[in-house]
Amino acid sequence: MLGRSYESQNCSAARALEIVGERWSLMIIRHALFRGITRFGDFQRSLGVARNVLAARLDLFVEQGLMERQPSSENSAYHDYVLTDMGRELQPVIMALTHWGDRWAAPGDPPVVFRHEHCDGEVRQQTICGDCGQHLAIDEVKAHPTASSMSLA
Amino acid sequence: MLGRSYESQNCSAARALEIVGERWSLMIIRHALFRGITRFGDFQRSLGVARNVLAARLDLFVEQGLMERQPSSENSAYHDYVLTDMGRELQPVIMALTHWGDRWAAPGDPPVVFRHEHCDGEVRQQTICGDCGQHLAIDEVKAHPTASSMSLA
């Protein structure tokens, strides 16, 4: 049976988007991931986001499990907001969004390039088959519903 | 100089999110990509989305360049909404969102599994270095601003 409403569309991508789809949320996590920012004041300064917006987002991230609030080692009056594994694993999502945006939605050269820390090579994301190891083109990937699915893709 | 507002955060990921971040938009493109749906009525039936919402999203996709409106080959009273390359290349973004959502945001088994069309193997996304070819862990990827950047990551 096909889902008949948004609620019944059992879609992990949509669930993911509900958590990180808000634009400030994405920017905050991006700065935590790639700039290593952990302090409220550092997020605020580098993003120029309103303090109330930032506070609400960080509280939500802690509640959702994307970040942990830790006492700062340097000064106990401050907290660090540290990405959990759940938060860190958004990295491929943000890279994929960035690559697509660079190609299709951003004028001019890419503002940011992702590089391998050790050899400085440019980072790529590839879709491969876990069985035969082949690199897959877009048309070669099909979505299959599982037993727990209520929708077909 | 660091960006001081959202507008000055020259972020391709945020631009991408502005285009596909709305939840119905994501679902429509997902059904076009993985189920090959092209007709208004088929999107409507399989998603259970309100007709006015669907019509607005499809019009926007055509305007943004994600889809092309083509006369149906079977019946000229109908149109097909066909993904362009810009639309098709959202596939890795949607797979990355889905993988993350499966792992962290969806209860139970994944509702959908992506498989290689030819050998039926499960599809993976990997981050590799374009220079040394190494498979990269999250910590091994760094974001570098380019000359056209106003923000540092």
Cβ–Cβ < 8 Å for A103, B90: no
Residue B112 placed within a domain: yes
What's the average model confidence in pLDDT over B39-68?
A: 94
Q: What is the CATH number of the domain that holds B49?
A: 1.10.10.10
| The pLDDT value given to residue B75 | 67
B77 touches chain A (CB under 8 A): no
A100, A120, A132 member nearest B121 (Cβ): A132
Name the band, by pLDDT with cuts 50, 70 and 90, for residue A89.
very high
Flag whether A86 is in a domain: yes
Selected residues 20-59 of chain B with any CB under 8 Å from a CB in chain A: 21, 23-24, 26-27, 30-31, 33-35, 45-49
pLDDT tens digits for range B133-152: 999 999 899 888 776 665 44
Distance CA A115, CA A93 (A): 16
For chain A, helix (H) and strand (E) counts, in that order, are 6, 5
| B38 falls within a domain | yes
Q: Is the CB of A153 less than 8 angstroms away from the CB of B112?
A: yes
Place of tokens 């890419």: A110
Cβ-defined contact of B12 to A97 (cutoff 8 Å): yes
Q: Indicate if the pLDDT at residue A151 is higher than 70.
A: no
Within a domain: B130: yes
Interface contact B105-A16, CB threshold 8 A: yes
**Option in A101, A106, A140 nearest B117 (CB):** A140
Nearest Cα to Cα of residue A54 among B60, B6, B18: B6
Q: Nearest CA of chain B to the CA of A25: how many Å? A: 10
Q: Any residues with CB less than 8 A from the CB of A45 and at least 6 apart, and which? A: B2
Tokens encoding B137: 């862990």
* Rounded-to-integer distance, Cα B1 and Cα B8, Å: 11
Encode pLDDT of B60-105 as tens digits.
Answer: 999 999 999 998 876 677 889 999 999 999 999 999 988 898 888 8
Most confident of A11-20, A75-84, B51-60, B69-78: B51-60
| Residue B7 pLDDT exceeds 50 | no
Q: Among all residues of chain A, which has the CA nearest to that of B94?
A: A13
| Element housing A71 (H / E) | strand A67-71
Structure tokens at A85: 């594994």
The ipTM assigned to this model is: 0.85
pLDDT of the residue at B8: 45
To which H or E segment does residue B113 belong?
Answer: strand B112-116
Please give the tally of structural domains in chain A: 1
In a domain, A47, yes or no: yes
Interchain pair B126, A125: CB under 8 A: yes
Query: Which letter does DSSP use for residue A76 in this model?
Result: T
**Hey, are the CB atoms on A111 and B30 less than 8 Å from each other?**
no
Q: What pTM did the predictor assign? A: 0.85
- Chain A residue with the nearest C-alpha to that of B114: A143
Contacts of A121 in chain B (CB under 8 A): 129-132
Contact present, B49 and A7 (Cβ < 8 Å): no
CA–CA separation, A61 vs B121, rounded Å? 35
Q: Give the integer Cα–Cα distance in Å for A104 and B16.
A: 8
Q: Which residue has the higher pLDDT, A50 or B77?
A: A50
In a domain, A147, yes or no: no
| Structural domain that includes position A121 | 12-140
B153 is a domain residue: no
Instruction: Retrieve residue A48's tokens.
Output: 């120029």
Name the percent of chain A lying above pLDDT 90: 51
**B119 occurs within a structural domain:** yes
